[in-house]
Structure 1
Amino acid sequence: MLLLLLIFLLAAFTALNWGVFVQPAELSFGVATLQLPFGLLMLGLLVAVALVFILFAIYVQTGALLEVRRHTRELQACRELAEKAEASRLSELRHVFEVAAEKQENRQQAFEARLTAEVAQLGSGLRVSMEESVNSLAACIGELEDRLERDRRS
């Protein structure tokens, strides 16, 4: 914006003083002397320097834009790599949890099977013990009945 203002002011100054700019003057170039409009020569040199400056600014801006683009691509690649690593870690963690849950389920099933077997074994042992007690009690009752009958007969 400031550059455009300066160009406008220079153009206005040149237009207002055009007569002075085109007035010929004797200029020495060291080996030769020429009759040229000094103002026009200086204006031409100013325009040439301004063009060189503008081209240099465009070159610097282009380099900066290319550098920003390269950094953006590198940043995107790093972001994708980090996302893949995070997904891999999450997948591995999920696998570890699944394996742990499967082991726990297997332990639970084994415990239930052992518990069921022990309960069944205790139940059959209790049945056998009850049968023996019933038989023993029946034998005792039978013996007592025999004694009572003998005592009644005698």
Structure 2
Amino acid sequence: MNLRSGLVILVMVLIAAFSALNWSVLMAPTDLSLGFAPVKAPLGLIMLALIVALAAVFLIYIVVLQAGMMSESRRVAKELKAQRELADKAEASRFDELRQLHSADMQKLLDRIDQLDREMRSAIEANANGINATLGELDDRIQRAGTPRLMG
């Protein structure tokens, strides 16, 4: 229980105690004027009834205000949830887009690596053929010079 609720309950208890202690005075009939006619009634009881009526009006006001705040809170919570879902969907679509870009870049990179591999193999094969041709030419020269053959 918070401080305000405790204070309201304390005031209500004090009013009830005051009324109980002075019940005979509150019930004493008095001449009252309603503006259009005089009436004989207990003024204390009328004032006590007005206090109870005012408390009831304030209680109803508080309940209506609290209900409105709860309704507004639910509405804001729903909007917040919808915005969060929208943001999550946008983030997911950005991740999908990033994944697609990454896949495309990776495919380009793999294609380039394959191309470089083919070019390197071709260059190695050309160098091997050139070395073999040079060795064959040297072997032929050596054979023509009359020395035994190196390869073969």
Q: TM exceeds 0.5? A: yes
Equivalent of 1:21 in 18, 26, 38 = 26
CA distance in 1, matches of 2:120, 2:83: 55
Deviation at 1:98, TM superposition (A): 2.1
Pick from 121, 125, 129 the counterpart of residue 120 of structure 1. 125
Structure whose CA Rg is larger: 1
Give the alignment partner of residue 55 of structure 1, picking from 60, 79, 89. 60
Tell me which residue corresponds to 1:101: 106
Paired residues, what number?
142
Identity of aligned residues (%): 37
RMSD, matched Cα:
1.7
Structure-1 separation of matches of 2:120 and 2:36: 118
The structure where helix makes up a greater share of residues is 1
- Unaligned stretches of 5+ in structure 1? 143-154
Corresponding residue number in structure 2 for 1:44: 49
Letter of the aligned partner of 1:135 in structure 2? D
Where structure 2 has 5 or more consecutive residues not aligned to the other structure, the ranges are 1-5, 148-152
2:30 counterpart letter in structure 1: A
TM-score (norm 2): 0.84
Moved more, 76-85 or 59-68: 76-85
- TM-score using structure 1 length: 0.83
**CA–CA separation in structure 1 for the residues paired with 2:107 and 2:36:** 99
1:146: which partner in 2? Answer: none
Residue 117 (structure 1) shift:
1.3
